[in-house]
């Protein structure tokens, strides 16, 4: 387990024009905040009212940008999550104090994004910097509204509504939400799309304190799983980051809530009160019981509050005098949170599949070592593989010869052979028992004592007395008279008995362990003369059995009619692009995909070599620094002891001379390694260019194939073929499917050219646009609202209406014209 550490608590003050400078003061170290209240004169001369409070925290953020907030609060937690440590960041405070702005930010503006989108961005940036690990990212979005659990991502088409209500379940691995959907994200844009999808489903309301007040607690969780690409260890690490946006506490007299909003405020205040009780219990070292199950919020955060987790609290407060009581309450909560300790540790798990592969490798290595040992001791005929049918048949033959007395001893080679010898002894014994039972059944009719129907039938025949004993059975002995076969006559020998016994026993010996005769099957053998088969017919029986096997395995013969060329049936609804993309990579795009994978493997290999070279350069640099320090020490020691000269040349001792030579060699190695690193970086840049080209070509070919296979109507495809009704040049092929796709491509290219925040913001805006496109008409109107702020360079084109030609979209042009009017 890891070492215990305190929870970090920060305070962020909401900017305001009416800041209470006389009542709120910050410490010079930006880690403390002092609150001063004026005495209430109405209480009289004897007034013991407390008027001064001082709170020591990990940081006070006043007039801080979103960048500074993330660097201070969340960056270390996210970076440690990729090393296997769980993390939790929680925003707490009064309603309208800026919790949602701190956690999510303004989704319309990239610069004002909050902790959550920045954390997603940092995760994918760090994954790109770790090519030696295969890291999987999954996300979920939980909402706790009026003590009920809701999945904010259940509106996605491939999720669907849950039949059973969601519940909180505990197991030895921790706490998880049963019924909560977890979504795999392979790139940054997909993660942003899921975030924006959940944000659109959150419940908000308006009151006097906040126009867009969150009416529920929300927990966005990022699950990480990292496997090493270079090491064959079966261990891998997992972690999760909980980003908690709590609903704000309310004073009903100030917020003026009523009706549904009043009910929501009651649930919010109740859950926050239970949260504070749990924090107080965690801070008290003498408390044994922590009331986690009082509400859904504390139960869901049981792992985060005082568990295996790096915990950070962000407390949002007002800076106005009118809200000073709520500010004091929030600061007290932050002080109590600092008393809570957590015990973060790396979450290591074992991959069962990789463990099996490692054990197989180890087994093969041990077999090789045994083979070497056997060859050194002249035991060259020993094998350690599983025995085949021929070897088992040979051991069966040796056992039979040993029992018959023709073989004196069985040579023992290894333990596997010993086990098989004992197994064949059991097989031979079983076969002999079956032969004895078969012989008895041919001579007598054996009756089971528990078969009452058969006993009653024999009693009627006069073969059994009234007490159920067989006729002629003495007291205390197991002997009885059997019933002879009906066709057997006295004084004559049944010739078929011997002839039937021999083929049956010989057949059992030939089949051995592979097909033993079951004693239960012999119950169905009749004793009538017509079913006694002589030995001359034994071959006919085998032929009949073989014919039955052949008949059962005969396949229907194909018809002689010529085969028609089968054309794959197009599905009614086209498959999803991810499924179609996998099919395309295995069929038409297999060659491009192979080249893409080869280039990518070369790129990863170059990156790995560059990483190793960088590590060597850093090691050489550290060794150069150590050598310089040692050389400086030798020089200072020489100066203290006095310098010696011979014919104007300085005389140094041998140790200093060796240090000078070592430093020279290290510098030479450093220059050589640095040159190699520069060459590798040039190769990486070139390989990255090739990978990007292959990726672009693969996606372009896939789009063409997908449109031809599933989107373009079949009659249109027939018309486009040579000799069709449409001549080349009449309709461009790239305009047949949809004009909207081309417009979207142009819009994406325009985004990449003129986005003021640079390429890093492309995924953010693309995900935002995709989310708004799901609502009919919302995308176009949102583009109108965002256009002047997102694209300031295109403001003139927007005003003049010339942007219509750039986008090439009639629908967009109509809306832009409407806005201009």
- Residues flagged as binding site for ATP: 93-100
Question: For residues 134 and 227, is the Cβ–Cβ distance under 8 A?
Answer: yes
Return the sign of the alpha-carbon dihedral for residues 526, 529, 535, 536.
negative
How many other CB atoms sit within 10 Å of the CB of residue 217? Answer: 24
What are the φ and ψ backbone dihedral angles of 512, each rounded to 5 degrees? Answer: 60, -140
**Helix (H) or strand (E) run with residue 283 in it:** helix 260-283
Return the sign of the alpha-carbon dihedral for residues 357, 360, 362, 364.
negative
Listed residue (248, 250, 262) closest to 101, CA to CA:
248
How many other CB atoms sit within 10 Å of the CB of residue 482? Answer: 14
Please classify residue 218 by burial: count the beta carbons closer than 10 Å to its beta carbon, then call 0-12 exposed, 13-18 middle and 19+ buried: buried
Question: For residues 214 and 316, is the Cβ–Cβ distance under 8 A?
Answer: no
Question: For residues 202 and 216, is the Cβ–Cβ distance under 8 A?
Answer: yes
Return the sign of the alpha-carbon dihedral for residues 587, 592, 593, 598.
positive
Sequence length of the chain is: 821
Question: What is the greatest pairwise CA distance in the chain?
Answer: 140
Q: Give the integer Cα–Cα distance in Å for 82 and 224.
A: 7
Question: For residues 751 and 783, is the Cβ–Cβ distance under 8 A?
Answer: no
DSSP for 351-401 reads: -HHHHHHHHHHHHHHHHHHHHHHHHHTT-TT---SPP-HHHHHHHHHHHHH
Q: Give the integer Cα–Cα distance in Å for 96 and 512.
A: 85
Q: Give the integer Cα–Cα distance in Å for 613 and 674.
A: 8
Q: Give the integer Cα–Cα distance in Å for 315 and 7.
A: 13
Binding residues: 93-100
Assign 3-class secondary structure to 446-500.
Answer: CCCCCCHHHHHHHHHCCCECCCCCECCCCCCCCCCCCCCCCCCCCCCCCHHHHHH
* DSSP β-ladder status, 87-93 and 310-317: parallel
Question: For residues 346 and 83, is the Cβ–Cβ distance under 8 A?
Answer: yes
Residues 128-141: b if buried by 16+ CB within 10 A, e if exposed: eeebebebebbbbb
Between CA 121 and CA 130, with CA 125 as vertex, the angle to 5 degrees is: 150
Which two three-digit tokens encode residue 596? 């893409």
């Amino acid at each position: 387990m890891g070492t215990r550490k305190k929870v970090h608590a920060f305070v962020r003050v909401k900017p305001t024009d009416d800041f209470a400078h006389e009542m709120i003061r910050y410490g010079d170290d930006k880690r403390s905040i002092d609150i001063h209240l004026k005495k209430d004169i109405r209480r009289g001369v004897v007034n013991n009212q407390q008027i001064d409070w001082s709170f020591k925290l990990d940081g006070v953020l006043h007039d801080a940008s979103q960048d500074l907030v993330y660097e201070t609060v969340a960056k270390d937690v996210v970076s440690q999550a990729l090393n296997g440590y769980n993390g939790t960041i929680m925003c707490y405070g009064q309603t309208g104090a800026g919790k949602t702005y701190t956690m999510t930010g303004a989704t319309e503006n990239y610069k004002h994004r909050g902790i959550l989108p920045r954390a997603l961005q940092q995760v994918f940036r760090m994954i790109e910097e770790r090519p030696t690990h295969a890291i999987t990212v999954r996300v979920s979005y939980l909402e706790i509204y009026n003590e009920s659990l809701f999945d904010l991502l259940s509106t996605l088409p491939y999720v669907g509504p849950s039949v059973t209500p969601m519940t909180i379940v505990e197991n030895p691995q921790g706490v998880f939400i049963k019924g909560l959907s977890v979504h795999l994200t392979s790139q940054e844009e997909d993660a942003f799309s899921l975030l924006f999808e959940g944000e659109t489903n959150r419940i908000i309301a308006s009151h006097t304190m906040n126009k867009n007040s969150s009416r529920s607690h929300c927990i966005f969780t990022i699950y990480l799983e990292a496997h090493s690409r270079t090491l064959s260890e079966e261990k891998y690490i997992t972690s999760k980051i909980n980003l908690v946006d709590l609903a704000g506490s309310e004073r009903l007299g100030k917020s003026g809530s009523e009706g549904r909003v009043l009910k929501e405020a009651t649930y919010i205040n109740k859950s926050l009160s239970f949260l504070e009780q749990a924090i107080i219990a965690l801070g008290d070292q003498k408390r044994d019981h922590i009331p986690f199950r009082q509400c859904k919020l504390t139960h869901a955060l049981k792992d985060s509050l005082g568990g295996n987790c790096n915990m950070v609290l962000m407390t949002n407060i007002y800076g106005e005098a009118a809200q000073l009581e709520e500010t004091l309450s929030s600061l007290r909560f932050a002080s109590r949170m600092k008393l809570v300790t957590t015990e973060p540790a790396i979450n290591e798990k074992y991959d069962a599949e990789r463990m099996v592969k490692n054990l197989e490798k180890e087994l093969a290595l041990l077999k090789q070592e045994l083979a070497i040992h056997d060859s050194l001791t002249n035991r060259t005929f020993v094998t350690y593989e599983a025995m085949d049918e021929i070897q088992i048949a040979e051991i069966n033959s040796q056992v039979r010869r040993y029992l018959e007395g023709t073989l004196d001893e069985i040579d023992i080679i290894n333990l596997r052979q010993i086990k098989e010898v004992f197994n064949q002894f059991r097989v031979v014994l079983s076969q002999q028992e079956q032969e004895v039972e078969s012989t008895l059944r041919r001579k007598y009719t054996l009756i089971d004592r528990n078969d009452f129907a058969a006993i009653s039938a024999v009693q009627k025949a006069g073969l059994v007395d009234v007490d159920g004993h067989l006729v002629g059975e003495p007291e205390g002995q197991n002997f009885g008279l059997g019933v002879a076969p009906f066709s057997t006559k006295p004084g004559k020998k049944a010739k078929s008995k011997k002839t039937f016994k021999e083929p049956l026993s010989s057949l059992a010996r030939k089949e051995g362990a592979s097909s033993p005769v079951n004693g239960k099957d012999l119950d169905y053998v009749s004793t009538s003369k017509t079913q006694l088969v002589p030995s001359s017919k034994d071959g006919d029986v085998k032929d009949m059995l073989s014919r039955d096997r052949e008949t059962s395995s005969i396949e229907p013969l194909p018809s002689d009619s010529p085969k028609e060329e089968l054309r794959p049936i197009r599905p009614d609804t086209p498959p999803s692009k991810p499924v179609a993309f996998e099919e395309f990579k295995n069929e038409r795009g297999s060659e491009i995909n192979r080249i893409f994978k080869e280039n990518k493997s070369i790129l990863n290999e170059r990156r790995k070599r560059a990483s190793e070279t960088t590590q060597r350069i850093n090691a050489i640099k550290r060794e150069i620094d150590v050598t310089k320090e040692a050389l400086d020490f030798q020089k200072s020691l020489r100066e203290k002891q006095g310098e010696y000269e011979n014919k104007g040349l300085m005389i140094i001792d041998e140790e200093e001379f060796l240090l000078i030579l070592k430093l020279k060699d290290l510098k030479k190695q450093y220059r050589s390694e640095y040159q190699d690193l520069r060459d590798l970086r040039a190769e990486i840049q070139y390989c990255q260019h090739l990978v990007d080209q292959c990726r672009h070509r693969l996606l372009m070919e896939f789009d063409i194939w997908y449109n031809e296979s599933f989107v373009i109507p079949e009659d249109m495809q027939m018309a486009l073929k040579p000799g069709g009704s449409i001549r080349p040049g009449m309709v461009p092929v790239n305009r047949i499917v949809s004009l909207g796709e081309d417009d979207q491509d142009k819009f994406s290219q325009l985004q990449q050219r003129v986005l003021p925040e640079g390429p890093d913001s492309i995924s953010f805006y693309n995900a935002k646009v995709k989310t708004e496109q799901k609502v009919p008409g919302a995308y176009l109107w949102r583009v109108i609202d965002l256009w002047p702020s997102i694209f300031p360079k295109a403001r003139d084109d927007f005003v003049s209406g010339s942007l219509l030609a750039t986008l090439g979209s009639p629908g967009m042009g109509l809306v832009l014209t409407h806005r201009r009017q």
